[in-house]
Structure 1
Amino acid sequence: MIAMELQKGFYLIKIFHYIISGAFLLIAIILILRSILGIVRKKVYTLTDKVLSSAFIVNLYLQLIFGLILFSNLGSSLGYDYVSADGGVKMVSKRLWPIEHIVLMIFALLIANLGFIFSNKSQESIAKHKNVLIYYCIAILMIAYSLSSIYLF
């Protein structure tokens, strides 16, 4: 009975993790396009841009929280044993991926936070757009690399 409830909770958290990932992707695309247009057309950095930047950061924090919950022993009790040596013995990349993924996600979050801070401290709109574009693209590339190692190989 407890195992069934645990399994439902695990899958619910996993679904939330996927939904937040989809929302993150949508926000990231919109934010990057707005930043490029802001630089090229010299547009003012508006409240919408700031809200999208905040949503980008909040999404990353939510991903981190749900990802850490999925990585914890909750998953190992349901057959997703990433933590122990027996859980990933079959393939080294699958054994090391959760650690690599978490570390890269934390660094991506750190870099995105730096971009958010630098864009808020900038006085000119073009500098704000450039900071968002540079730092958030680096964070997105780190996330894409982290995901590619498990889904492509």
Structure 2
Amino acid sequence: MNPYNITLYAHSYVRWAVVILGALLIVRALTGWLGRRSWDGSVERLGSFFTISMDIQLLLGLLLYGVFSPTMQRIFSDFGSAMGDARLRFWAVEHMLMMVVAVVLAHVGHVTAKRMPEEKRYRRYAIFAGLAMLAVLLAIPWPFSGADPRPLFRV
């Protein structure tokens, strides 16, 4: 396997860690917030794992974006005309922008929640993890999406 395929497969599978950890964090934070539970430090650890998985995913995406992807090399060779093609624009701008926004939201939520009084932490995690996951889910090229569908699992 070449570096492009290794990075692409890793990026494809780490996505599931992001989605699963994000969903778990949202559920745990919502049940804590809405159930008015006392603070459970395991939610903070889950928030750490979620942001770490987001960081790994971003790093893999940046490697694809700037180094390995033949699609991106083609886009960069004529960026102006690529913007006229919805599929190429998705990869060049929309996917990357939404994912960076998601990573920033995840980090802001995690860092600010740790500094808040315990009774407000669940709410902060629920809101920011929810917003981050919304951005992630909108930016993933799902098989049923119109952008440039990709398989759920690469084999």
Report the TM-score, using the length of structure 2 for normalisation.
0.81
The residue number in structure 2 matching 1:67 is 61
The residue number in structure 2 matching 1:8 is 2
Taking the aligned partners of 2:87 and 2:51, their CA distance within structure 1 comes to 28
The residue number in structure 2 matching 1:3 is none
The correspondence for 2:94, drawn from 70, 93, 100, is: 100
Taking the aligned partners of 2:83 and 2:121, their CA distance within structure 1 comes to 47
The residue number in structure 1 matching 2:132 is 139
Taking the aligned partners of 1:66 and 1:132, their CA distance within structure 2 comes to 25
Shift of 1:12: 0.9
The residue number in structure 2 matching 1:4 is none
Cα separation, partners in 2 of 1:122 and 1:79, compared to 1, 3 Å: closer
Bigger CA drift: 61-70 or 116-125?
116-125
Amino acid at match of 1:130: R
Shift of 1:23: 0.9
Computed over aligned residues only, the root mean square deviation of the Cα atoms, in angstroms, reads 2.6
Cα separation, partners in 2 of 1:72 and 1:129, compared to 1, 3 Å: same
Residues 1-31 of structure 1: CA distance to partner in whole angstroms, max 9, x if unpaired? xxxxxx6211111111122111111111111
CA contact (8 A) 1:97 1:149 kept: no
Amino acid at match of 1:36: L
Cα separation, partners in 2 of 1:83 and 1:151, compared to 1, 3 Å: farther
Residues 92-130 of structure 1: CA distance to partner in whole angstroms, max 9, x if unpaired? 1111112211111111111111111221111123x1010
Structure 1 residue ranges, 4+ long, deviating more than 6 angstroms after superposition: none
* Gapped regions of structure 2 (runs ≥ 5): 147-155
Shift of 1:149: 8.6
Q: Percent identity?
A: 17
Bigger CA drift: 56-65 or 141-150?
141-150
Taking the aligned partners of 1:112 and 1:90, their CA distance within structure 2 comes to 29
The correspondence for 2:118, drawn from 105, 124, 128, is: 124
